[in-house]
Amino acid sequence: MCRNFFHGTRCALLGAIAAGAAGAAGVSAQTTNPLHLSNGGDGIFMYSDPSIGGPPGSPNIAGDLYWKVFPKETLRAADGAGPHTLEVTSIVFTLYDTDWSTPPQAYDILFTRGQTFGLPDNIGPDFTDPNAVLITFPASWWFAPNPCLIFPGGCTGPCPISGFIAGWQVVFTFAGPAPGSGIVVRADGTQDLVVTSFLPGGMTFQSGPPGWCGEGDYTLCDWHSSDMFGTGLGEHQAATPSGNSPYGGFRLGGVGTFADDLTETLDETLYFREPIVEGRTSLDPPANSGTGATGTGLSSLRFTVGGGTNAYGVKLVDEAHVGDPAFVIGSVSPQLLYPGLPLFGTWLLIDPSDPIAGPTANLWSGTLQPNAPPVSGLQSEEGYLNVPLIQVPAVAAGLELSLQGVGIDLPSGAFFATGTFRAKLLH
């Protein structure tokens, strides 16, 4: 299944066998608070054949690439007078390969600020960002073994069954225990964060030798939530005038640059040292370990009120405070200016006088659990607050909903807080 773009294609490959998770680097304590902004991956995309790109460590901005946006509405730290930053500690991506007789080549990953990119309603990467950070993976260093030799289900010997490819989910942690050892990003609510992945050049699928398993030698990392892989799958965000998603896109080398559709996004999670609050809605399928759905798709950023029948909820994760009480405040009033309102050792950026602040904090409250509910498929999320959805009345269309999580550290009595999350409530 491919989308044709003049002389190039981006192809959706349905036959992907996920073989568990592979870790990389040392996983440090209290650094794994995730921000998903995806309802879970449904399938994988392939780009040019042969691929167009540079060698590892030298990404080609005119070649094959794709990006995901973590918008400014999700990046406003509750840190008083500053420095208004958050720290990324890990990234989760997929590593599939059509020929495991040679080492797979994970794609270069670049962290930059966002900018308008010449595509209507879309945010793209700013490759001139002086604070850009590049993560590269030399093939000679890569450690992942052939999944078919570890998890043989769906495989015949070293190859998956015909029409399928095998791979890993990789949790790459690059931060140590010390604050500041990860990637520190601006988080004052004014700057988007864009994560761009660059394909290495020269990979072949049908344009070169058949390879070990008859499918060439091509590494694939673009695990996407998309309705291209089935009816009802993908994302359910409210429409934009152009039909483009603001939150991702891709480039086919020598062909052009394109925005993701409203119904799709890259399934690539970032983990932060700080606690994270994220929206979830009734428009997405509930989180489910069997389907891989996270329940935290892009509808949480662009929410369709739908006559008052649709519902909105939250997910708070703070691994450092398992067992502590916490709540999430909602508000449709403008957020407070920095430094915010002091609150027993932390800072409140949500207006507590908003009429919905008290009711939402009361309903969205509980104890941070050691793990997310098993059915959710998010068992690795420690310090998880599971709260109900609330129906949003039709009169709320046109407003913005701001969220902030607050908790109490029981041993000290001090309060702690997440940054804010801001959603558009639309017709």
**DSSP string for residues in 182-200:** SEEEE-BSS--EEEEEEPP
Are the C-beta atoms of 104 and 373 separated by less than 8 Å?
Answer: no
Are the C-beta atoms of 50 and 204 separated by less than 8 Å?
Answer: yes
DSSP 55-117: -TTS--TTSSEEEEEE-GGG-B---TTS--EEEEEEEEEEEEES-TTS---PPEEEEEEEEE-
CA angle (289, 295, 298) in 5-degree steps: 140
pLDDT at 141: 65
Alpha-carbon dihedral angle through residues 16, 19, 21, 24, given to the nearest 10 degrees? -90
pLDDT per residue rounded down to tens, the chain (427 residues): 444 333 344 665 545 554 544 544 444 445 689 999 999 898 999 999 999 999 999 999 999 999 999 999 999 999 999 999 999 999 999 999 999 999 999 999 999 999 998 999 999 999 999 999 999 998 776 677 899 998 888 899 999 998 889 999 899 999 999 999 999 999 999 999 999 999 999 999 999 999 999 999 999 999 999 999 888 889 999 999 999 999 999 999 989 999 999 999 999 999 999 999 999 999 987 766 666 677 789 999 999 999 999 999 999 999 999 999 999 999 999 999 999 999 999 999 999 999 999 999 999 999 999 876 655 555 467 788 989 999 999 999 999 999 999 999 999 999 999 999 999 999 9
Helix (H) or strand (E) holding 166: strand 165-173
Are the C-beta atoms of 427 and 397 separated by less than 8 Å?
Answer: yes
Single-letter residue type at 22: A
Are the C-beta atoms of 212 and 104 separated by less than 8 Å?
Answer: no
Beta strands in 238-275 (DSSP E): 244-252, 256-261, 264-266, 269-272
Distance CA 45, CA 12 (A): 5
Cα–Cα distance list, 89 to 62, 105, 114, 270 (Å): 28, 22, 20, 8
| Torsional class of 355: left (φ above 0), alpha (ψ -120 to 50), beta (otherwise) | alpha
Strands 264-266 and 302-304: unpaired
From the CB of residue 20, how many other CB atoms can be counted at a distance below 10 Å? 10
